[in-house]
Amino acid sequence: MKIPAFGLGTYRLKGQTAIDSVRTGLELGYRHIDTAQIYGNEAEVGQAIADSGVARDTLFLTTKIWTENLSRERLIPSLRDSLAKLRTDRVDLTLIHWPSPGGAVPVAESLQALAEAQDAGLTGAIGVSNFNIALLREAFDAVGAPRIATNQVELHPYLQNRILAAFAREHGLHLTSYMTLAYGKVLADPVLSEIAARHDATVAQVALAWAMQQGHAVIPSSTRRENLAGNLRAQNLRLSEDDMARIAALDRGERLVDPEGLAPKWD
């Protein structure tokens, strides 16, 4: 299954804010929506989709299984609960959100349960998030590399994750970039600003286009209609080889998401 290159993230969006963001995104033409059990907004995402009038079959919907639900006994029931909240009989992609803390639940157990959910028609595709290379190898061993649709990881101009990206390319594994704007830090970058001015674009569009040009999917979020609309136009921006090289030079290994007790040993 091909994952749409551009989507709408819902991290940190709660209640009516989540409903409004998704509803506005759908009005503007977003058709890939990314949520997760731990976000606490699956019901709001489901409501926004239901109220939008947009046909479910035209949408690509992603959710993620939280760590407390990674065991064989809990994974599928938790996914069914997510489906009920999302008001759908299946999602298009389900990810393991973070590896089990301390390896309490083996990667193979979680991935095999997720594969069972896929076989049962509860999810169109399966994948992982925040996996390092060692964990990816375990996932490949568990269900086969072709079955892993993506690894969703922090990736932005200041953290380009080159070792992991090279491994992914070598094994034909797709990456989804989250935090592509680095919590907004890249928006003031002088190099990105100069590139944006030359293309008559926004800095956000440049950062998003940079990730997509490398073959990654992006899932930026926003609560403002103008930003949602502007981000969407990143799909029409084509950066030059020189632009890409200048952005490549911005990498400084600045990781912004590294929760103690959850994060693996990064590559």
How many of the other CB atoms lie within 10 Å of CB of 74? 16
Residue matched to tokens 């060692």: 134
Q: HEC profile for 110-154?
A: HHHHHHHHHHCCCEEEEEEECCCHHHHHHHHHHHCHHHEEEEEEE
Residue matched to tokens 């003031």: 188
Q: Which of 39, 158, 178, 183 is catalytic?
A: 39
151 backbone dihedrals φ, ψ, rounded to 5°: -120, 115
| Pairing of β 123-129 and β 8-9 | unpaired
Annotation marks residue 158 as catalytic: no
Q: CA-CA-CA-CA torsion for 133, 135, 138, 140, nearest 10 degrees?
A: -60
- The two structure tokens encoding residue 179: 């935090």
Distance of alpha carbon 52 from its chain centroid, rounded? 22
Give yes or no for a contact between 120 and 128, defined as CB atoms under 8 angstroms apart.
Answer: no
Give the helix/strand (H/E) hosting 191. helix 190-198
Catalytic residues: 39
